[in-house]
Structure 1
Amino acid sequence: MTTQLKIAVIGTGMMAERMMTSFAEHPRLQINGICDVNEERVQSLAEKFQTTAYTSHQALLDSEELDIVYVAVPPKWHHEVATAVLQKGLHILCEKPLANSVEEAAELLELAQEKGVVNAMNFPLNYEEGTRQFEKLMQEDYVGKLRRVELRMEFPKWPRPRQQNSWISTREQGGFVFEVAGHLVQQILRTFGPITEVTSDLELPEDPTLSETGIVATMQLASGAKVYFNGIAGTAGMHSQDIELTAYGTEGTVKLSNYANLTQGKIGEEMTPVPLEDKVRTDELIDAFVAAVDGHSAELYDFQVGYDVQVVLEKLRKV
């Protein structure tokens, strides 16, 4: 008989609740405790998912029988909470970014490797059809020799209407560079290889506690091609966001818009849509994590990936 894996959740924001739903529906997982400093919120979710509520992550770790912990606290607390989890020798799934600095990320990477546990980041774009097909076209040399990559982000309002909390707009641990660009930086590293140089020009508000309102940056790929990143928040428009990742080559162009719309075209031709499977992949990460805990090969993006992304992010936001 296949054993149940006991998982705890620390941090109960929007993403955590979504993940808890997937954990609760997974045949191999049992939620053994959730934790948040917001007592009303954690009690409500504990009732919803029929588990035990905690307001201290250490109390949860000391009290419950666990195999896995999902860390979804704000970035400022990743290092403290993830360290406590790893010290217990538990497998760990962490929200991005890995930590709140390169130094913290390096310490978590070293500790995870020392403990020998399964460790992974929640970089969900790796499991999406649009990003997979974008990468496939690059592997097939559809664009020919890569000339440049462009990353464009526009947010009429930051934080986005669906994402309101106490930290997302702060310079210390929020902003669209830290919160959103990390996903795309990880995809760029996965698809095009190492980033060797970063130059960044941030537009910052007068209030020193608030996050950036704009960025113009250049990233050098090991291949010699450059990545140009142009992002801005506070614009006209009623859309939530507009995000584009475009690869320009000697033979063609491929563009991924808002993660789900992929277009391609050869030089001298129109850009045309690339058909994508209508396939939900949200549970692939969880299936892969469970497989890894069982000792099988699995598609996971570990703390080394998280650290590599963190290095680039800190250069972009220059803190």
Structure 2
Amino acid sequence: MIKVGIVGLGKMGLSHVAMIRAHPDVSVEAVVDSTGYVLDVLSKYTGLRTFSGMQEMLDAVELDAVIIATPTRLHAGMVRTALEAGVSVFCEKPLTLTSAESVELAELARSRGLVTQVGYHNRFVGAFQEVKKLLDAQAIGRVTHVLAEAYGPVVLKPKGSTWRSQRSEGGGCLYDYAAHPIDLVTWYLGAPTGVGGTVLGSVFSAETEDEVFSTLYFPDGVSGQVSVNWSDESYRKMTTRITLWGTQGRIHADRQECQVYLREEATAPEGYEPGWNVRYTTELTDEVWFYLRGEEYSAQLDAFVKRVQNRDLDGTNSFASAAVTDRVLELMVTDAAAGPRTLATGDAPVPVAPAPARTRAGTAVALLQHGLQVARAGGRTLVARLRKSS
């Protein structure tokens, strides 16, 4: 039996408690949360040992692994504490707020022979897994472009402040939702070489963005676009989908199905033929021991448990792969703060310095600095034209 502790009892934390407690190879030994009421209820009705601090739990209980489902801002310190205690870690996404921290934690875990996994559950959805298999088989030839989308009715009016409404806490549309389709893109195509044209727009939120649009650049001229809006009430629930174009066809997938169009000259994988093909998630998904919200949530925990049992350091959604996604999120924040690079005036693009700040104030300062640079450049151009005309 794998002895597990769970840290953070919000929506995802409680979901993990329900799923992992039902796992036949797991014993949940303890839970951690800062809310006394939640701990009292769990203690009374489940008999679980409860703690208000993670270090307190690690000192008192022998564990093989922990599941961390706290606000992103707290991930880095908690993950490090667990790894230094010799405990494997499943952490909710995104891993940390800086890719440097994520890389450092990945290296620490590997040096200690500990298993790591991050909760990008879409990699366990049957249709998205089928996309990966088709790409590995080069079913659509050389990929030329990818479109990653997510839309849904998450924020439809101004709300009070929670960690999800503050980018500095790891919330906001970028870190809380766009991270999912972006992670699928990095799984399929690897790390982009750069990003451009990023827009982080506010619809209802005051402290963060509600919509994310960006272009990703990959080696060999491959491009990608990200389009995410969590303030779109035309969708009943959050919907993620991926479309890839290649020299021999096209793939479109969401949680329900994987649609594949293959040209006549394409080498069709087994079970496929030229023209349109459809594979449904129901036929691509293995049964799980416990269903809650979707098979993929249980499947990712099962994969983690098996890896801990086998000391398998290499697997789906490791800290190393999550660090790649974290880097893309960083690049997009910097790119958005820099503003437009090619100006409508026809003047040469204005060079801008990266904006390291992740807060709303930091972004505002970066935008102001960029505006001043644009104004100075425009002023110099105007003076030159006046001198030339005189």
Normalised to the residue count of structure 1, the TM-score between the two structures is 0.87
Q: Whole-Å Cα distance in 1 between the matches of residues 203 and 173 of structure 2?
A: 17
Cα distance change on mapping 1:47 and 1:299 into 2, 3 Å: farther
Q: Whole-Å Cα distance in 2 between the matches of residues 40 and 166 of structure 1?
A: 19
Q: Which residue in 1 is equivalent to 2:257?
A: 261
Indicate the structure with greater strand content: 1
Q: Whole-Å Cα distance in 1 between the matches of residues 112 and 22 of structure 2?
A: 29
Cα distance change on mapping 1:233 and 1:71 into 2, 3 Å: closer
1:197-255 CA-to-partner distances (Å, cap 9, x unmatched) read 11242233399952212222111122421001122343342512233210012232111
User: Which of 204, 207, 216 lines up with 1:210 in the alignment?
Assistant: 207
Alignment of 1:96-111 (within 5 A): 96-111=93-108
Q: Which residue in 1 is equivalent to 2:221?
A: 224
| Letter matched to residue 22 of structure 1 | M
CA contact (8 A) 1:200 1:215 kept: no
| Post-superposition offset of 1:302 | 1.4
CA contact (8 A) 1:171 1:208 kept: no
Secondary structure, aligned partner of 1:41: helix
How large is the Cα RMSD of the aligned pairs? Answer: 2.7
Structure 1: runs of 5+ lacking an equivalent = none
Q: Whole-Å Cα distance in 1 between the matches of residues 104 and 137 of structure 2?
A: 37
CA contact (8 A) 1:194 1:222 kept: no
| Post-superposition offset of 1:271 | 5.3
| Post-superposition offset of 1:14 | 1.5
Question: Sequence identity, in percent?
Answer: 21
Cα distance change on mapping 1:94 and 1:146 into 2, 3 Å: same
| Letter matched to residue 123 of structure 1 | Y
2:158 corresponds to 1:153: no
CA contact (8 A) 1:171 1:209 kept: no
Indicate the structure with greater helix content: 2
Q: Whole-Å Cα distance in 2 between the matches of residues 26 and 205 of structure 1?
A: 41
Q: Whole-Å Cα distance in 2 between the matches of residues 208 and 158 of structure 1?
A: 8
User: Which of 179, 183, 187 lines up with 1:186 in the alignment?
Assistant: 183
Cα distance change on mapping 1:82 and 1:38 into 2, 3 Å: same
Rg larger for: 2
Q: Whole-Å Cα distance in 2 between the matches of residues 185 and 141 of structure 1?
A: 21
| Letter matched to residue 210 of structure 2 | T
Paired residues in the alignment total 312
Cα distance change on mapping 1:47 and 1:223 into 2, 3 Å: farther
| Letter matched to residue 199 of structure 2 | L
Structure 2: runs of 5+ lacking an equivalent = 265-273, 288-294, 335-357, 359-390
2:308 corresponds to 1:293: yes
Secondary structure, aligned partner of 2:165: coil
